[in-house]
Amino acid sequence: MKIYLTDLEFYGFHGLYEAEKKIGNHFKLDIIIDFTPKVDRVEKIDQTIDYVQVYELVRSIMDIPTPLLETLVDKIASQILLDHLLVDKVFVKITKQKLYIPSFEGATAISIEKTRK
């Protein structure tokens, strides 16, 4: 089974450059969680991954200014695996909506996929 949390929007102060730390930026996150339920038919929230809990976890991590997006995707993926024992694999992608580089058009993104060992 997979759970998708897509186009999550956050405003944060992540980045190496002073403008990013002072002005902030818009970020979008996509998360895909692969998990194997322990029952044939999921009928209760404790038999699945509560995506509200996942969202709250992501929000709390995104609230902490962090210089590198690489650090953020790793923290989010690792914490999802730690908090949710049913998770087999998690994919996290963070897109920075604007770069403070003259003439740069577009966005940049970092992603990670982690598997339970």
Q: What residues are annotated to the active site?
A: 96
Rounded Cα distance between 18 and 15, Å, is 8
C-alpha to C-alpha distances, 83 to 11, 25, 29, 42, nearest whole angstrom? 24, 28, 19, 19
Residue 58: count other Cβ atoms within 10 Å of its Cβ: 22
Sheet with 87-96, strands from edge to edge, namely: 2-12, 25-35, 87-96, 108-115
